[in-house]
Amino acid sequence: MAASIPFRATMSYSKLFTQLAHLKVRWRGFASSSKVLCASSEETASPSYGNTTERDPFPIFVDNEVQDLLSKITGFDILKVAGPHKRHLEKPKYRLLTDAELKGEMAAARDRLSKRLQIPPYMNPRKPNVTPLAVDPDLAHFDTSNYVFTDVTFGIKDRDRTVVVRETDGTLRIAPWDVRDRMNQIYNPREGKEYLKPQMFDEKNLERMIWEKKYVYILDRACCQFEPDDPDFIRTTHRVYKAVDSAGDHDDLRSTRHFGSLAFYLVWYKMADSLLLDMLKRDFASDAADLVKLYSIVHPQSACTTSLKQLSSDSNLAAVVQVYIDTTSTLSSELQLALQALEDAD
Amino acid sequence: MITVDRPRNCEKKIGFETRMPRIPLRRSFDIIKLSYHGCNNRPFFHIVLLKNISKRNAPPIEMLGTYDPMPNMYNEKLVSLDIDRIKFHLASGVALSKPVEKLLGLSGLLPVHPMSFITAKRNRQKLEEQAKSQAEQEEEGNADKS
C-alpha cells in the first residue's frame, strides 16, 4: 500500500510544494529557452543563405498593403472558385425571393466563396532545435526506445503544442519538426492530411504530375499536408511555381488561392517578367500596375521604386508599367510591344 | 484504530456487550494511475484520476492522458499528457502510482524517478557483460582458426 502512494507516504506537503515551485520554474524556463533557441538558430543560420533569402519574407507578406494587392490580382472568377466539383447528390432547393433578398443571398455567397481564396503564408523554412533541454548520462539505456511526450491540454493549438522526446541516451530535447507533425496528426487529426507523407511529393512523382499540369491539385494537397514553413512545402510549391512560370500557365492559378503566392514568389526572386507579359496580353492592365507596385514594396532599394516615387500620384496604369519596363525588365521589348497593343486597343 | 459497532436495538435482545471487531474502512484518496484499455497482447493505457479504492478500469474521475507502451515504426513510445490538469491535481496533493511517476519523471515534469536510474544502470551492466562475452567468444574463434 505504501509503495503505491509514494508522495503521501514519503513526502511532506511542504517538500512537495517546494518541488512544485521548482517544477513551475522548469516549465517556464523550458518555454522561454525554446524561444531563445529559435532566435539564436536564426541568427547563426542566416549568413549561410543567399542574398534573397537572408531577409524574412513573412513580415512583408502579411503587410496589409501587400495582402490587398495580392488579393486584387488574384481576381474572382465565380465559375472557377465555385466551379463544378464532386459532392454528394442532393435535391436542389427552390425558394421564392424578392430582388433585394436575391442581392443579399448573392453577396453572402460571394463572402463565403472569398474565404476559399485565402492565400497560404509565404515563409522561410523553419530551423531545427538542436540544443537539448537536459542531458542525463546516468539515464542512458533506461529503455530500448525513445519516449515522445505530447501536451494535449484542452484548447492548445497545434503550433503552440509542447512535444518533447526522451532519447535512449537520456537526453531530453524538443521534438524534431517531423515528430511534432506526426504527433499533431495523431492527437489532433486533420481532414486531408496523411500520417505518412504521400508519395506524390517524392521528386520523381512530383515531376510527372507537373508534366501532366496538375498544378492546382498539387498545391491544394501540399496546403493540406504541410505547414507553410515546412521545407517540403516550400520545395514543392516553389518547384510548381517555377514550372508554371516557365510553361506560361499563369492563368491556371488565377482565381485560386495560390495565385497570390505565385506572384509573391516571382516578385521576391525578381522573375515577374513573364507574369507581367501574361497580364498585359490578357488585358489585365490594373493587375499589371498592381504587380509593379508590389515589386516596389518588396524591393524598396531597387531603381524601379525610386523612379515610381517620382511619378505623380494620378498618373495612369500604363505609365507605372512603363517605369518597370525601363528600369528592371529583362523582357523589355516584348513587354513594350504588349503595352503598346494594350494602349492602342484603348 | 478499531471501532466497535454496536447496534442499539440488538443489544437488549442478544444480551451481551462485546461483539466481533470490524476491519476499519480503507482510507480513500485520489490517485493518478494507469488503466488498461488494450486487448490481448496489445497493451494500451489511459492515465486517469481515480479513487484509490475503485477498480482499475472503473469510470475515471478525469482522464489525463494516454500511454502506448509498444514502440511504433520509428521506435517511439507515445505518451500524451494533459499538463495543465496534471499540474492542478499535483498542486492539490494527489497521489501518483509508480509507473505514472516514472513517466512524469522522464517527461521532465517531475524529477527523474530513482528507479529509472537503477534500471538504466542494470541495463548498462547487462550490455557490458554481453559485449564482453561476445568479444571473448570471437577471440576463442580466432584462436581455433589459427
Q: Is A183 on the interface with B (CB under 8 A)?
A: yes
Q: Given this model, what pLDDT does residue B23 score?
A: 86
Superfamily of domain B26-139: Ribosomal protein S16 (3.30.1320.10)
Scan for cell 494602349, then name that residue: A343
Report how far residue B107's alpha carbon sits from residue A142's, in angstroms, rounded to the nearest whole number.
13
Residues of chain B in contact with residue A144, where contact means CB-CB under 8 angstroms, are 71, 75
Q: Flag whether A165 is in a domain.
A: yes
Question: What's the distance, Cα to Cα, between the start and end of chain B in Å?
Answer: 77
Residue A330 and residue A277 share a domain? yes
- What contacts A238, CB < 8 A, 6 or more positions away? A265
Report how far residue B134's alpha carbon sits from residue A242's, in angstroms, rounded to the nearest whole number.
57
Question: Is the CB of residue A168 less than 8 Å from the CB of residue A141?
Answer: yes
Report how far residue A233's alpha carbon sits from residue A226's, in angstroms, rounded to the nearest whole number.
6
Look over chain A and give the mean of its residue pLDDT values, rounded to a whole number: 84
The residue extents of the domains of chain B are 26-139
Q: Given this model, what pLDDT does residue B15 score?
A: 56
Of A187, A203, A219, which residue sits at a domain end? A187
What are the CA-CA distances from residue A299 to residues A117, A327, A332 (Å)? 25, 13, 19
What is the strand order of the sheet B62-68 is part of?
Answer: A172-174, A163-166, A146-151, B76-81, B62-68, B45-51, B30-36, B95-96
Residues of chain B in contact with residue A8, where contact means CB-CB under 8 angstroms, are 29, 93, 95
Least confident window among A43-47, A241-245, B49-53, B76-80: A43-47
Nearest to B108 among A133, A138, A145 (CB): A133
DSSP symbol at B64: E
DSSP symbol at B45: E
Question: Is the CB of residue A326 less than 8 Å from the CB of residue A311?
Answer: no
List, for residues A304-327, the tens digit of each pLDDT value.
888 888 887 777 888 889 999 988
Residue A156 and residue A37 share a domain? yes
Q: For residue A18, is pLDDT > 80?
A: no
Q: Which residue has the higher pLDDT, B14 or B19?
A: B19
List, for residues A171-180, the tens digit of each pLDDT value.
999 999 999 9
> What percentage of chain A has pLDDT greater than the value 90?
65
Q: Given this model, what pLDDT does residue B5 score?
A: 60
What are the CA-CA distances from residue A127 to residues A31, B65, B71 (Å)? 17, 29, 27
Q: For residue A48, is pLDDT > 50?
A: no
Q: Flag whether A260 is in a domain.
A: yes
Q: Given this model, what pLDDT does residue A149 score?
A: 97
Q: Which residue has the higher pLDDT, B103 or A23?
A: B103
Residue of A28, A142, A158, A171 for testing the chain B interface, max B β-carbons within 10 Å: A142
List, for residues B86-136, the tens digit of each pLDDT value.
999 999 999 999 999 999 999 999 999 999 999 999 999 999 999 999 999
- Alpha-helical regions (H) of A93-176: 99-114
Query: Could you tell me which of A62, A78, A297 has the C-alpha nearest to residue A289?
Result: A297
Q: For residue A11, is pLDDT > 80?
A: no
Report how far residue A242's alpha carbon sits from residue A50's, in angstroms, rounded to the nearest whole number.
18
B107, A166: Cβ pair inside 8 Å?
A: yes
| Identity of the residue numbered B131 | A
Q: State the smallest CA–CA distance between residue B78 and chain A in angstroms.
A: 5
Q: What value does the mean pLDDT take over residues A1-24?
A: 42
List, for residues A129-145, the tens digit of each pLDDT value.
889 999 999 999 999 99
Q: State the smallest CA–CA distance between residue A12 and chain B in angstroms.
A: 10
Residue span of the structural domain in which A114 resides: 65-77+101-120+191-269
Question: Is the CB of residue B30 less than 8 Å from the CB of residue B89?
Answer: yes
Question: Is the CB of residue A255 less than 8 Å from the CB of residue A81?
Answer: yes
How many independent structural domains does chain A possess?
3
Report how far residue A242's alpha carbon sits from residue A236's, in angstroms, rounded to the nearest whole number.
10
Report how far residue A311's alpha carbon sits from residue B114's, in angstroms, rounded to the nearest whole number.
75
Q: Given this model, what pLDDT does residue B1 score?
A: 56
Q: Flag whether A322 is in a domain.
A: yes
Report how far residue A260's alpha carbon sits from residue A256's, in angstroms, rounded to the nearest whole number.
9
B78, A186: Cβ pair inside 8 Å?
A: yes
Q: Flag whether A56 is in a domain.
A: no
Q: Is A26 on the interface with B (CB under 8 A)?
A: yes
Q: Is A149 on the interface with B (CB under 8 A)?
A: yes
